[in-house]
Amino acid sequence: MTMRSLLLATIVAYAPRASVASADAGETAEGAAARGRAARKAGHIHEACDAFAASDGLAASADTEVHLAACYEQDGKPATAARMYRRAADRDTSAARRKASLAKAEKLEARAPRLHFTIRPSPAGLVVRVDGAEVAAGEDAIVD
Cβ atoms of 51 and 115 within 8 Å: the answer is no
pLDDT along the chain (144 residues), means of 10: 45 41 73 94 95 94 93 94 95 93 96 90 88 84 90
Tell whether omega for the bond before 78 is within 30 degrees of 0, i.e. cis: no
The whole-number pLDDT of residue 23 equals 56
Which of these, 94, 58, 55, 95, lies nearest to 71 by C-alpha position?
55
User: What distances in angstroms separate CA 32 from CA 29, 49, 61, 143, one per listed residue?
Assistant: 5, 10, 13, 27
Q: Which amino acid is at 64?
A: T
Phi, psi of 141 (to 5 degrees): -115, 130
C-alpha Rg value of the chain to the nearest Å: 18
Q: Which amino acid is at 127?
A: V
Residues 92-130: tens digit of each pLDDT: 999 999 999 999 999 999 999 999 888 888 888 888 998
Cβ atoms of 32 and 55 within 8 Å: the answer is yes
The whole-number pLDDT of residue 95 equals 94
Provide the whole-model pTM. 0.74
